[in-house]
Amino acid sequence: MADFVYPVLVADIGGTNCRLSLVPEAGAPHESLARIGTGSHATPEAAFESVLSTLSERPRSAVLAVAGPLDGRSAQLTNAGWHFDGAAIASALSLEQGLLVNDFEALAASLAVLGEKDVTTLVPGRPEAEGLRLVLGPGTGFGAAALLRRGDRGVLVPTESGHIGVGPEDPTEEKIWPALAADLPRVTVESLLSGDGLVRFHRAVASQSRMLEPDVSAADVTTLALDGDPVALMAVVCFWRLLARVAGDLALAFKATGGVYIAGGIVPRLLPLADPATIRAVFCGKPPMEDLTSRFALHVITAHDAAEQGLAAIAAAPERFGLDDPARLWSA
């Protein structure tokens, strides 16, 4: 396959928001175009065109990250109604070529280009230069993907880890678990480690404390916790502990000796409330595998444009990530 033709449209499309940027030429930084609500238009093609129609120079290619499972050249958002078909998008937007990736594939690709300023380290570990790197995180849902590198080439491994079942593991979780699980057909990682999950933790802590829970959003819980509200603060503490536990479990599943990276919009705001000692104890406390887990590093990606950086890196060299695949690339 030929290299992507520039300018390249890159888009990070989640269950709530869609961020569009343009990469004018190979190696250039991406330029933000717009942030629009997912579902604000009937189709993604209509949403993209509402922005592209305002440009003096239209993109000729696109690399689109979708928060949902992919099937070759098509994808469906997990937490919203948009469906994506590569050939239809190319035809509607007059694109010469394009590629659909999972949103966490884009974040995994970003691990090859992010700098020290883009991350905050919670657990230093002893990472290996060519060890597998894992990125995961809560947002509207919960996602995870891995980057395996060998020299100049790599492979991205998307997952549906958010739909793994999870149960209580410590006395505090056991006390609040009935309230956490209320009305859920199955308790999954995503049902607790997401925006809705943070609200669910707040409701469960309030119920356990026999306090009337106000009608709050995930952003409200964060703000209340930062202001010292005891119920919100305990909800965030429980959220952090479960996130550290799940991150450590997935690190074991993937043997992520290159490091684990937490992404998404929720966790960077919660960093002031992170207790590194507790997080390390939970993240690494995996008997009988402590010798291995003590090597795992844990970081939080604080760059707001990590996905766009990953998409730009994919556009520049898809073969670097094993994405020079005719079964996935599409054209008009």
Residue 103's alpha-carbon distances to 137, 156, 209, 226, 288, in angstroms, are 11, 11, 38, 29, 33
Higher pLDDT, 78 or 99: 99
CB 116 within 8 A of CB 77: no
Higher pLDDT, 300 or 327: 300
Give the pLDDT score at 212. 64
- At residue 231, φ and ψ (nearest 5 deg) are -70, -45
Verify that 98 and 120 share a domain, yes or no: no
CA distance 288 to 62: 46
Residue recorded with tokens 């999954």: 188
Verify that 195 and 162 share a domain, yes or no: yes
Residue 1 above 50 pLDDT?
no
Residue 92 is given by DSSP the state H
Higher pLDDT, 129 or 211: 129
pTM metric for this prediction: 0.93
Q: pLDDT (tens digit, 9 = 90+) per residue, 242-289?
A: 999 999 999 999 999 999 999 988 999 999 999 999 999 999 999 999
Verify that 194 and 247 share a domain, yes or no: yes
| pLDDT bucket at 290, cuts 50 / 70 / 90 | very high
Is residue 43 in some structural domain? yes
Q: pLDDT (tens digit, 9 = 90+) per residue, 163-183?
A: 999 999 989 999 999 999 999
Verify that 321 and 295 share a domain, yes or no: no
Q: pLDDT above 90 covers what percent of the chain?
A: 80
Give the pLDDT score at 265. 87
- At residue 329, φ and ψ (nearest 5 deg) are -70, 145
Q: Closest Cα partner for 218 from 166, 158, 265?
A: 265
Residue 258 is given by DSSP the state T
Is residue 110 in some structural domain? no
Q: Provide the domain count of the chain.
A: 2
- The overall average pLDDT reported for the chain is 93
